[in-house]
Chains A and B, each alone.
Chain A
Amino acid sequence: MSQSLPTPKIQPYGDAAVLLSYGVEGFSDAASQAVLSLSQHFKAQSGWTDIVCGYDSIMGTFDPQVMRLGAAVNRFQLAAQSVDTLDSIAAVTVDIPVHYGSEHGPDMNAIMDASGLSEAGVIDAHAAQTYRVCMMGFVPGFTFLSPAPKALHHPRHDTPRLSVPAGSIGIAGWQTGIYGLSSPGGWQIIGRTEASIFDINRSPIFLLKAGDNLRFVPQR
């Protein structure tokens, strides 16, 4: 790990969950990797009903009839102390085809203006790097990725759109991600994928999970 990891805060979250948070400003690759390693570690244990990652935090929920709050906090403390020795997450790489710009990316012009790049330049910059799926959530299948290249960082819309189509790929500050299903949203939309992140009629239902690597493949 390149960056040093701050000491995490571990605390009860109500009476049936425990929360670990590194409390970093913005994005920390080291914190995100640590959270994903912890997630893999806890998911292999019994006793947890949900293990959910944030960018720099992780929550475990449990049945208080099965595990006591104090024991849950202890488990988190023990794992956090030896996070360096945990296996890093076994990542698979998923390619996501993207139609950038035009009707698929209504905010492409805003990103071009702000970055001074051509459309091809924005596409090259956005699709050049391999991202990590840091967390999923908010709504089903919403995929939060590691940061976009600096030139593309852009604030959210002041007023969210009432409906952003499923598969839309957006930018919000340093964040980039994919809308798993149609929902209201304030992100700057630069493209869309036909790949469905979330499909209950498919097995597996989810195309992605936290810890996966992801590459955007521009479509003509």
Chain B
Amino acid sequence: MIEVLQSGSSTTLQDAGRPGHRDRGIPASGAADRLSFGLANFMVGNDWDAPALECTLGGLHLRVLDDTVMAIAGAEMWAQVNGQNVTNFTSFPVTKGDILTLSFARKGVRAYIAIKGGFRAAPVMGSVSTYTLAGLGGIEGRALRIGDRLEASVKGTSGPQKIPPGYRPYLSNHVILRARPGPEFDALTADSRRHLFISPFFATPQTDRMGARLRGDKIVMSRPSSMVSSPLLPGTLQAPPDGQPILALVDGHCTGGYARALQVIRADHWLMGQIGPETQLSFRRAMDVEAANVLHYRNAFYSRLMPGFKF
């Protein structure tokens, strides 16, 4: 069991999400950076999709109430146990009374904290993932607060401690996402279509798990048209009339009425979890064969380490 001493800007419990309910307006949610989430679980010997904490931008302080093993993956946050540094690539034992602190993120924005056995919570529609907009999952459907206590499930088997070097994801403060033209790509101006693949964009402070509002060259349609609401997916870059695109993220709306300019390929969705305020990002055009091949080989590669893992 752990107790929350400081909750940080937003820390939620997440697992692999609750897919399959978009027709009723429920996004899948789940860990925004699925790969780092899976690797954190791997290091403590859990199944890759066991419930873990997702800490955004840092500021999380936890007190450990039982001897156990924990691990951190994802954003680099100067993590310490009782003032001693711990790294993102090795699990570490903790004993009763230890204090784990995550300071501000230097690289990336979301870190995953896994505990041996996985954190315990009541599943809602098959998942414990927190979706704060509808108050689903996690602890009362909300982000963690000071004083919250989370229990670990019955102890899992003791697993490998380290992420093998080749499997460590490289995070940079400039996120490059491979993307395919979206359904309304052809309705954009020629300039916009060019800018999408050559211009850098910055995520504004209006960035959370639902979406990232971007700043950069204006992306507009050649003829302003009012679309009727139509399905929308995480990884869709939408172009509203003001020209400032919005990238839909893991908790994004299930339908929308703006032009869908781009769609980030599935193999790169995990990286969208490392987009926060001021993150610089750019898009690179992917061929459809490339998207399929990258996904196939990346899935095969990481599922060798984490059985059943899929991007």
Task: Please tell me if the beta carbons of A141 and B229 are within 8 angstroms of each other in the complex.
Answer: no
Distance (whole angstroms) from the CB of B137 to the closest CB of chain A: 9
Distance (whole angstroms) from the CB of A77 to the closest CB of chain B: 16
Task: Please tell me if the beta carbons of A137 and B265 are within 8 angstroms of each other in the complex.
Answer: no
Task: Please tell me if the beta carbons of A135 and B183 are within 8 angstroms of each other in the complex.
Answer: no
Distance (whole angstroms) from the CB of B162 to the closest CB of chain A: 28
Contact with B along A1-44 (1 / 0, CB 8 A): 00000000001111111010100101100000000000100000
Residue of B nearest to A60 (CB): B231
CB interface residues, A 34-70, toward B, < 8 Å: 39, 49-59, 61, 63-65, 68-69
Contact with B along A176-192 (1 / 0, CB 8 A): 00001101000000000
Of the stretches B20-28, B78-86, B167-175, the one at the interface is B20-28
Contact with A along B100-144 (1 / 0, CB 8 A): 000000000000000000000000110000000110100000000
Of the stretches A81-89, A100-108, A119-127, A202-210, the one at the interface is A202-210
CB interface residues, A 162-180, toward B, < 8 Å: 180
Instruction: Tell me if B68 counts as interface (CB < 8 A to partner A).
Output: no
Q: Which residues of B contact A17 (CB under 8 A)?
A: 233, 263
Task: Please tell me if the beta carbons of A68 and B25 are within 8 angstroms of each other in the complex.
Answer: no
CB interface residues, B 228-270, toward A, < 8 Å: 228-231, 233, 235-236, 253-256, 260, 263-266
- Asked whether A137 and B19 contact (CB < 8 A) given A13-B260, A52-B231, A65-B299, the answer is no
Instruction: Tell me if B296 counts as interface (CB < 8 A to partner A).
Output: yes
Interface residues on B, range: 35 or more
Task: Please tell me if the beta carbons of B263 and A14 are within 8 angstroms of each other in the complex.
Answer: yes
Instruction: Tell me if B288 counts as interface (CB < 8 A to partner A).
Output: yes
Task: Please tell me if the beta carbons of B134 and A61 are within 8 angstroms of each other in the complex.
Answer: no
Interface residues on A, range: 35 or more
Contact with A along B4-42 (1 / 0, CB 8 A): 000000000000000111111110000000000000000
Task: Please tell me if the beta carbons of B26 and A140 are within 8 angstroms of each other in the complex.
Answer: yes
Instruction: Tell me if B182 counts as interface (CB < 8 A to partner A).
Output: yes
Residue of A nearest to B253 (CB): A138
Q: Which residues of A contact B231 (CB under 8 A)?
A: 19, 52-54, 57-59, 137
Complex partner residue of B266 from A14, A137, A138, A198, CB under 8 angstroms: A14
Assembled-state Cα–Cα distance A63/B233 (Å): 14
Q: Which residues of A contact B180 (CB under 8 A)?
A: 12, 14-15
Interface core residue of B23, B133, B295, B310 (most chain A CB under 10 Å):
B23
- Asked whether A14 and B25 contact (CB < 8 A) given A50-B20, A54-B228, the answer is no
Distance (whole angstroms) from the CB of A112 to the closest CB of chain B: 26
Complex partner residue of B288 from A12, A139, A140, A180, CB under 8 angstroms: A12
Q: Which residues of A contact B125 (CB under 8 A)?
A: 200, 205
Instruction: Tell me if B291 counts as interface (CB < 8 A to partner A).
Output: yes
Instruction: Tell me if A142 counts as interface (CB < 8 A to partner B).
Output: yes
Task: Please tell me if the beta carbons of A54 and B229 are within 8 angstroms of each other in the complex.
Answer: yes
Instruction: Tell me if A136 counts as interface (CB < 8 A to partner B).
Output: yes
Task: Please tell me if the beta carbons of A52 and B23 are within 8 angstroms of each other in the complex.
Answer: yes
Residue ranges of A at the interface with B (Cβ–Cβ < 8 Å): 11-17, 19, 21, 24, 26-27, 39, 49-59, 61, 63-65, 68-69, 135-142, 144, 180-181, 183, 198, 200, 205-206, 209-210
- Give 14 A-B contacts (CB < 8 Å), ordered by A residue: A13-B263, A15-B266, A19-B231, A55-B228, A136-B25, A137-B22, A137-B253, A137-B255, A138-B254, A138-B255, A140-B24, A140-B133, A200-B125, A210-B23
Closest 4 CB pairs of A and B: A14-B263, A59-B231, A15-B291, A137-B255
